[in-house]
Amino acid sequence: MSQTLPIEFAEQPHPSPTTPEKRAAILRDPGFGRAFTDHMVTIRYSEGKGWHSAKVGPREAIPMDPASAVLHYSQEIFEGLKAYRTANGGAVMFRPEENARRFNKSAERLAMPSLPEKTFVEAVDRLVAIDRDWIPEGEGSLYLRPFMFANEVFLGVKPSSEYLFIVIASPVGSYFKSKDSAVSVWVEQELTRAAPGGTGAAKCGGNYAASLMAQMDAYKHGCEQVVFLDAVERRWIEELGGMNIFFVFDDSSMVTPPLGGTILPGITRASILTLAKDMKIAVREEPYALDQWRADAASGRLRETFACGTAAVLTPIGTVKSRDGDFVIGNGGSGAQTEKLKATLIDIQRCRAKDMHGWVHKVF
Ligand SMILES: *Cc1c(COP(=O)(O)O)cnc(C)c1O
């Protein structure tokens, strides 16, 4: 159902927010996704009524009936984006309208109602504004997690008639431990993440649940991340559990797997495609096979490989392990082109470089 009237937000500040001393202690070393701000946004949806009861209020537990649909059939989607503190004391977000659009595409796939894009952006804007003191200084940022889930109390299998949209925020530190910290990846040749016709292109919790067993295999093999192959041939590289992937060749050209319904259309991925064009780097969106990856790494034709997404921005891949043996990319560390693209993107996100594409959204 489409919403026509604008949604009005009620604002109810936390009666006893975290003290400045305690907050400062948390912000000194926030980690990732462990600490949370004082507030949250909630908006309710009811069939026949549409979106209503929008509120910015204290962050608190949500009462839930044990028969709530999401607990049984996983009708849930989410987004992830960051707010950054700027040099002049303001705050910005990177392409939040793209997250709003993707959120509605995910909603469509999971048979959920769409949320007006303006309301999505206003919700994150309001949370960043009310929790502005929680945006870390320096290399940290405020990670924002909008999500929506089915909340009808009913065990029948059908799209829910009730939903809850919530935004929470978590201060996060720099994802990078050191400048040259490449990760090792496990190529999963049995388990798959997404099949043609499935939910691979939707950002839904179910995809992550399906990826966890492979992630455990990766840990067992001493790797930090999993690379998934296509579900049909187990041959073509698709993406990591939560990041897209790029391959950099000796002529500086790049390859990234094409979006075809089984890969999550990353906003970082799309931004890198645009930046590469600006930098006159040729990028081919075409299938790339595991065998080819191994052969190109051995011949030296492949120089670098990196993963990309909001959480870690660009992460170089140094070592690849699989059932059929291991191989190293380049010198096993990061590469010049990965670092250059990473620096270019981060400088735009943090307002240190000219925003040529209108990607930066000012919150205040
Ligand atoms: C969120 C996500 C990404 C990265 O998307 P960004 O918009 O760049 O953060 C990549 N793959 C999966 C599976 C994801 O869930």
Shared domain for 165 and 232, answered yes or no, is: no
Distances (CA, A) of 72 to 152, 153, 160, 162, 342: 11, 10, 11, 15, 40
Mapping DSSP to helix (H, G, I), strand (E, B) and coil, where does residue 280 land? coil
Question: Which atom of ligand 1 is the closest one to the Cα of 243?
Answer: 10
Looking at the whole model, is its pTM more than 0.85?
yes
The pLDDT tens digits for 194-214 are 999 999 999 999 999 999 999
Give the pLDDT score at 176.
55
Shared domain for 144 and 188, answered yes or no, is: no
Shared domain for 136 and 56, answered yes or no, is: yes
Task: Tell me which of 148, 172, 196 is where a domain ends.
Answer: 172
Give the pLDDT score at 181.
83
Shared domain for 92 and 210, answered yes or no, is: no
Task: Tell me which of 125, 147, 172 is where a domain ends.
Answer: 172
Shared domain for 327 and 288, answered yes or no, is: yes
Shared domain for 195 and 168, answered yes or no, is: no
The pLDDT tens digits for 142-197 are 999 999 999 999 999 999 999 999 999 999 987 655 555 899 999 999 999 999 99
The residue among 254, 250, 255 whose CA lies nearest residue 237 is 255
The pLDDT tens digits for 10-54 are 999 999 999 999 999 999 999 889 999 999 999 999 999 999 999
Query: Residue holding tokens 């990965």?
Result: 338
Instruction: With beta carbons less than 8 A apart as the criterion, state whether 203 and 211 touch.
Output: no
Give the pLDDT score at 5.
74
Token code pair at residue 179: 């400048």
**Domain assignment present for 104:** yes
Q: For atom 5 of ligand 1, which residue has the closest CA?
A: 266
Share of residues in the chain with pLDDT > 70 (%): 97
**Domain assignment present for 227:** yes
CATH number at residue 302: 3.20.10.10
Mean pLDDT of 316-334: 96
Domain limits at 74? 9-172
pLDDT tops 60 at residue 2: no
**Domain assignment present for 362:** no
What is the CA(163)–ligand 1 centre distance, in A? Answer: 23
Q: For atom 2 of ligand 1, which residue has the closest CA?
A: 242
Shared domain for 148 and 223, answered yes or no, is: no
Q: For atom 10 of ligand 1, which residue has the closest CA?
A: 243
- Ligand 1 pocket, residue 193 CB under 6 Å: no
- Ligand 1 pocket, residue 98 CB under 6 Å: no
Shared domain for 244 and 302, answered yes or no, is: yes
Quote the crossing angle between the two packed helices 267-278 and 96-109, to the nearest 10°. 130
What is the CA(79)–ligand 1 centre distance, in A? Answer: 9
What is the CA(242)–ligand 1 centre distance, in A? Answer: 5
Shared domain for 27 and 152, answered yes or no, is: yes
Q: For atom 13 of ligand 1, which residue has the closest CA?
A: 242
- Ligand 1 pocket, residue 80 CB under 6 Å: yes
What is the CA(264)–ligand 1 centre distance, in A? Answer: 6
Q: Report CA dihedral (99, 105, 109, 115) to the nearest 10 degrees.
A: 80
The pLDDT tens digits for 256-292 are 999 999 999 999 999 999 999 999 999 999 999 999 9
- Ligand 1 pocket, residue 264 CB under 6 Å: yes
What is the CA(313)–ligand 1 centre distance, in A? Answer: 10
**pLDDT band at residue 312 using 50, 70 and 90 as cut-offs:** confident
Share of residues in the chain with pLDDT > 90 (%): 94
**Domain assignment present for 131:** yes
Q: Please enumerate in sequence order all residues whose Cβ is within 8 A of that of 351, keeping only pairs 6 or more positions apart, or say none.
A: 84, 86, 87, 92, 360
**Domain assignment present for 196:** yes
**Domain assignment present for 212:** yes
What is the CA(200)–ligand 1 centre distance, in A? Answer: 11
- Ligand 1 pocket, residue 200 CB under 6 Å: no
Domains in the chain, number: 2
What is the CA(42)–ligand 1 centre distance, in A? Answer: 23
The pLDDT tens digits for 43-81 are 999 999 999 999 999 999 999 999 999 999 999 999 999
Give dist(CA 293, CA 298) in Å, integer. Answer: 9
The mean pLDDT of the chain is: 96
DSSP 246: E
- Ligand 1 pocket, residue 313 CB under 6 Å: no
**Domain assignment present for 177:** no
Shared domain for 195 and 328, answered yes or no, is: yes
Torsion 127-312-99-345 (CA) sign: positive
Task: Tell me which of 172, 192, 227 is where a domain ends.
Answer: 172
Give the pLDDT score at 178.
54
- Ligand 1 pocket, residue 312 CB under 6 Å: no
**pLDDT band at residue 6 using 50, 70 and 90 as cut-offs:** confident
**Domain assignment present for 260:** yes
Q: For atom 1 of ligand 1, which residue has the closest CA?
A: 242
CATH number at residue 126: 3.30.470.10
Shared domain for 79 and 228, answered yes or no, is: no
Shared domain for 65 and 189, answered yes or no, is: no
Question: Which atom of ligand 1 is the closest one to the Cα of 270?
Answer: 8
